[in-house]
Homo-oligomer: A and B are copies of this chain.
Amino acid sequence: MIGRLHHIGIAVPDIAAASALYRTRLGADIGEPKDLPEHGVTVAFIEAGSASLELLSPLGPDSTLHRFLERHPQGGQHHLCFEVPDIEAAMARLKADGATVLGDGAPRLGAHGLPVIFMHPKDFAGTLVELQQASLEPQS
């Protein structure tokens, strides 16, 4: 496998209300919400074994999450994030196989301060896949 599953992103219209549901109903230990203006989202993480859940709500009028929430007004599973040792190498391999990197194609720092990219859902049977380099410097 390209790397371990790092987290599952779940889009929600109201991060405080969703956090309360996960806390009350699943006994989840949820971190404080954190704004990521560069990504247009507010996020809160839930530890769930070795992987975590990332609740996401839109931040600002240009957030790409608005369109997702128009289609899924209650919220819904939004993306899967896998760790990779070297994000440029992973991108090169995927692009050589015809997959599409979203945005301007350059890695950006994600919620964990590590380089991330998103691949187009059409390349993964409808699932939006995020790749996150496991550390700031690539590992071979």
Contacts and interface: CB of A to CB of B under 8 A. Distances in A.
Interface residues of A, number: 47
Nearest to A98: B25
Nearest to A5: B48
Contacts of A50: 4, 49-51
A106 interface: no
Interface of A: 1-2, 4-5, 8, 10-13, 17-18, 21-22, 24-29, 46-51, 53, 55, 72-78, 80, 82, 94, 97, 99, 121-127, 129
Given A4-B48, A74-B122, 5 more contacts: A1-B27, A1-B46, A12-B126, A74-B121, A75-B127
